[in-house]
């Protein structure tokens, strides 16, 4: 097995988990996942990410507050959400959305069902652990870029450790609440959460895998 095929095996096992077991992950394993993810490159080695890891009590407190805000329809992210997805982006978004709905049995036009699935975000899909990832505002989009690399590496390191993950921008939409619960410094922006734990392999939401674009949609040779 070449190193690339070993790496691919980890990439192929990773997926966004939307149904977790209660079983907590040992603290030493969480520390190893974070330390592995810290190995990603960042501009001038600034390593701008911070990880706020919630205790079970804080997780439940945040969940209750987010659920109330979601039901009230509030949305105020620190970093603006995309205004629209068009063309291929719109198509890919729709495909993965329908994969999820099909898996959990939400049919076209079932607004209650799609809303119920959306609200699962604020239960963190039953994950025992929630980490909030933040970026220093002064580093702007390049800080966000570096933190994105960290988020990806976190998910892959976790996969290698047998731990399932899901990055969640949904919680960044409720930034004022998140900031308050984790007591985030004024000079940082909430990027996303990563909910993680052990996969519930029987959960309907975990029964599909997303696809990827063909190479010719991504690779542009410049002659
Ligand atoms: C930055 C980021 C934010 C995301 N936010 C959410 C979210 O709020 N809720 C959700 O269900 N999935 C979320 N996802 C998961 C994506 O939907 C998922 O990565 C994508 O559909 C590809 O599927 P895969 O991760 O299973 O390969 C997010 C992923 C990333 C990288």
Other CB atoms within 10 Å distance of the CB of residue 141: 9
Distance (angstroms) between ligand 1 centre and the Cα of 70 equals 18
Can you give the three-state secondary structure of the chain, one letter per residue? CCHHHHHHHHHHHCCECCCECCCCCCHHHHHHHHHHHCCCCCHHHCCCCEEEECCHHHHHHHHHHHHHHHHCCCCCCCCCCCCCCCHHHHHHHHHHHHHHHHHHCCCCCCHHHHHHHHHHHHHHHHCCEEEEEEEEHHHHHHHHHHHHHHHHHHHHHHHHCCCEEEEECHHHHHHHHHHHHHCCCCCEEEEEEEEEECECCCCHHHCCCCCCCCHHHCCCCCC
Number of structural domains found in the chain: 1
Q: Which of 29, 59, 16, 53 is nearest to 169 (CA)?
A: 16
Q: Does residue 107 fall inside a structural domain? A: yes
Beta pairing, strands 50-53 & 164-168: unpaired
Distance (angstroms) between ligand 1 centre and the Cα of 26 equals 24
Separation of CA 44 from chain center: 25
| Best probe residue, ligand 1, of 49, 89, 125, 169 (max atoms within 8 Å of C-beta) | 169
Q: Does residue 223 fall inside a structural domain? A: no
pLDDT, one tens digit per residue, over 152-174 is: 999 999 999 999 999 999 999 99
**What range does the domain containing 53 cover?**
14-81+88-208
Banded pLDDT at 82 (limits 50, 70, 90)? very high
Q: Does residue 56 fall inside a structural domain? A: yes
**Would you state the pLDDT for residue 74?**
77
pLDDT, one tens digit per residue, over 101-153 is: 999 999 999 999 999 999 999 999 999 999 999 999 999 999 999 999 999 99
Query: Could you tell me if 157 and 37 are in contact, meaning their C-beta atoms sit under 8 angstroms apart?
Result: yes
Distance (angstroms) between ligand 1 centre and the Cα of 223 equals 35
Tokens 């190893």 correspond to 32
pTM for this predicted structure: 0.97
- Measured CA to CA, the distance from residue 63 to residue 77 in angstroms comes to 17
Domain CATH code at residue 103: 3.40.109.10
What's the token pair of residue 157?
Answer: 């390191």
What percent of the chain has pLDDT above 90?
97
Banded pLDDT at 73 (limits 50, 70, 90)? confident
Residues 192-211, mean pLDDT to the nearest whole number: 98
Q: Does residue 114 fall inside a structural domain? A: yes
**Would you state the pLDDT for residue 176?**
97
| Protein residue closest via CA to atom 9 of ligand 1 | 168
Would you say residue 1 has pLDDT above 80? no
Residues with C-beta less than 6 Å from any ligand 1 atom: 15-16, 96, 121, 166-170, 192, 210
Q: Does residue 164 fall inside a structural domain? A: yes
Would you say residue 42 has pLDDT above 90? yes
What percent of the chain has pLDDT above 70?
100
Residues 183-193, mean pLDDT to the nearest whole number: 98
| Protein residue closest via CA to atom 21 of ligand 1 | 96
Average pLDDT, the chain: 97
- Measured CA to CA, the distance from residue 204 to residue 195 in angstroms comes to 18
């Amino acid at each position: 097995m070449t190193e690339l095929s070993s790496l691919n095996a980890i990439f192929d096992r990773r997926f966004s988990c939307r149904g977790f077991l209660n079983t907590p992950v040992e603290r030493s394993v969480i520390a190893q996942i974070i330390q592995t993810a810290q190995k990603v490159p960042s501009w001038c080695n600034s390593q701008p990410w911070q990880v706020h890891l919630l205790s079970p009590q804080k997780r439940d407190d945040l969940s209750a507050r987010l659920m109330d805000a979601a039901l009230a329809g509030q949305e105020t992210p620190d970093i603006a959400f995309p205004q629209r997805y068009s063309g291929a982006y719109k198509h890919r978004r729709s495909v993965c959305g329908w994969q999820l709905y099909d898996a959990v049995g939400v049919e076209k036009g079932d607004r209650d069902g799609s809303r119920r699935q959306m609200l699962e975000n604020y239960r963190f899909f039953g994950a025992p652990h929630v980490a909030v990832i933040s970026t220093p505002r002064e580093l702007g989009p390049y800080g966000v870029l570096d933190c994105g690399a960290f988020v990806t590496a976190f998910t892959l390191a976790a996969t290698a450790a047998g731990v399932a993950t899901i990055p969640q921008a949904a919680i960044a939409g409720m930034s004022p609440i998140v900031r308050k619960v984790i007591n985030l410094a004024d000079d940082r922006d909430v990027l996303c959460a990563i909910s993680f734990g052990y996969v519930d392999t029987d959960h309907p939401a975990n029964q599909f895998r997303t696809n990827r674009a063909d190479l010719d949609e991504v690779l542009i040779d410049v002659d």
